[in-house]
Structure 1
């Protein structure tokens, strides 16, 4: 919670990035395990939670829990357990499990009317899971948050970016409950504790990011009262986590605190305050940054509302997460809207600049995945509409459906890709088009000084207002500033930049001296000779130059250098013609005859 003064080269920041990557690997594995439950496959496990049938109360003997439901023909009822009994498993962890080995045997003790009865509960054989669109959608949303958070954290230059990435990774948690093979007795308890701890970090991470980001905007460190509030918030979360550990061990609610549902509000406070701080920061910054903060607050707020606020509400009101429950459908829609807004804001408004290559890869990766999933559901829907007898009897119908979807997919993909290009990359395309128009016109400028000044103006426009200087190499090997300001007027022949230009004869964009004030040095090369260069400073927005921008600028500088050389040749040829042309005789002069 210190100032955001950790840079990319900071060992401390690199350690935090490594920690976020470890966190992303854990949450990603947990989300993948959650998603497997949505697929119609046989995992070799038998499903069913005993915990849904019991209640923690003080009337049961120590270590026992009270049974409130024992449906007929279910394993608990078949083992002889009835409503009102107090039970204790030989392995207490079995009470928390949701998946078991096929036909696993669980020993338990039953207390009924003062007598203790021994029993064995047999789990049913493993079966193929049922297809669940809701579970799969939640798993995909969670995996997206994990991937996006890891990318943001690893590419962040400041601590605020790492905090945002960490918060997003923790928000990708599908829940603290263990899934699939996580339910095996050996890893169950430690995994459950780790998952619940990571869940607790999500709201704290959001609040930490909002505090640091607002400090960046105002230019002031996080004030002491906010630091104290944050420390108390962390302490409260630690207390809730320890209370959950106690409940898991003792099968009793926490003394004094009572049922943990009363503490759920604590979980919501952090995100609400964080969104408020981001909105406050938006009002204190420039118009461009205001848009970015607004999108960020809306995206994180919607995702948290749908995934955690509504999720916890459903947990407290019946635990029905199926899409038949309107509240569950609302939660999924809100989470998906949050992810969509964040994706749009990140790629269109560059709330987080992931770089050109990652941006395009992420856009078209998400696009392709979305289209594939859409057509998968369309094919599945078509199979549900067409009677099974017709599909089985007429293979041509199934082939026709598949072929039709194939043709439609390619047409839709091409149409969507054009729309994506226009939506996300139009400003880049327009910027390149204006540069190309200038280079075409530059060949028809007739004076070198005019071409130098117009080139300076165009490079400044293209880079969004960066400092630009056009240099020409003199006879003594030094470079002299021809156009530009607030840059060195002369660069010595043995300056490191001049030496690298002569040695490499290519664009320079890394390890440039700070005193030169350059982010890019674009050479003007004639055969093997450096005739000049264009020096460009950092973007005022703080963004890096994309690879395609560097390539476009380097090509433009080379074209301008060739045009300047052509104008110099024209000047020299005109001067030579002037010197060779016969001078007219002045009045009163006499010609001297040849001897």
Structure 2
């Protein structure tokens, strides 16, 4: 088995030799075109270098990395044959135009090679590439007859054309064959008739093979085959159009040239489709080499094309046979346009491989445009990840939002399945931050396993992450607002249910019983005075119970003490009664004359303070408790004790959750913690309207929530 190092040297050596040969052939062809532009054809000389470069570059890259894949070697050999064809065609043309075939060595061989060498170059991509792409193996053993038909048909057709003593006019060959076998015309025609159906089986069978492979493939392989399937369709359409022109005007040289041009273009399309499949979907993970090769390969092809066109046009316009001045002028024009052309090609290739990472303004502009048309908040984050994936050609991206100590996926977008070879350490995670608070994460999969994000990628992604952090914060606010609305509706309905239950199950039966007893009193008023007195006493007791229920319901809605005494006065009254009943020494520190506070703030602060004092009495084992109330812009409430503190294993119960929810409903916060000196502290901040902000009194502590 050939080692990878040997394969690399061999494949690139073949590619280098082919490029040298095709360059020499191009130079000879240029001189021939300058010498006689009227009689010289342009198809082979113009397109063969581009085709040779395509074959050699893609073939050498594939063969050097995967020696066991025959696609790379097939491209290398085809590129070499294409270069030899270019050289033989140019050499023959130069000898023909100069009318000096007897003075040039090897002209006969060159003319002979020019007759038939183009056949394998043309047929191999239409057959074996389609059969073997992308892994170098047939779909199954059932496709071997198609491969045999393609191979035998190609060999038979090339042999027949190479040694036929008569011109193969059906292939557009009108010249004589210098090495044709005399008297073998009938045998060669029979061989051609034998090869033609085999080639049809091979070509159409290969197209059917790629269609079946595409239908069966999934994920990455399906995306790879798709490129070649599109190229196959392009080949069919291009050759069909070229064949129509040739069929309409079989004797017209322009129709023949157009048919040859279409053949070359479709061949280049197949080779480039193979390269794009390797490039975009990482079949062989050679992105950096492909990037540079595509840039300089295309640059070389365009430079050669410009040079040929410029030199040819200048020769025709100036009507001169002096090649040196024309060549110098053409070289100067190409040299001036080299750098701008290279930069433009580099940008196009980078966009093809890496998306728009080098144009951050375009990415951010597209993201802004898409977000402007998003109506629902739940569509914002999916729009962001989809834009990032499509703009940077990434396989996967997701946004997670922080939920407590965990991160929950809020949006994700998959462009291509993430490779199983990709480890978790290769996934890039960027924090989404809003005003120093981590809102979530932007999770991104690299373009291929083992390919880290470049610094250019990271700079753009960090910029996007900053914008996404603001968007994620707004989405979370919208979600919190929706959840708050849902909680408000749920709380309202629960409160209505509780009131209905209290009225129906409590006051309802009592009042009904009172009504019955009034009827009984009325009936017994004249007959049994003792019974009337007894019923009257029971009626009075039930009325007192009903009155107590009414007061309890009203107290649950809003403590009357708040309306009568205000927040500070209500707390004083409660603390005084609590100290007398429970023996716990509670001290209140609050402003003497606080301003009137909003009703919701008063109720929340009162309920939080009462719940905290109840917890101190029941669970803290404390001797002293302090309730502090201050108004520096907002209402600040702190309840501390000298008890045993909270254990880390203790989970928040109904009371602690209720205190936190009361504060959050008003846009504030409430936290419970163990104090450094011992004991427990409950700290709450409740926002006040701007009209009450700035009232004197600073809290003796800072409230922060982690």
- Report the TM-score when normalising by structure 2: 0.41
Greater relative CO (CA pairs within 8 A, separation 6+): 1
TM-score, normalised on structure 1?
Answer: 0.47
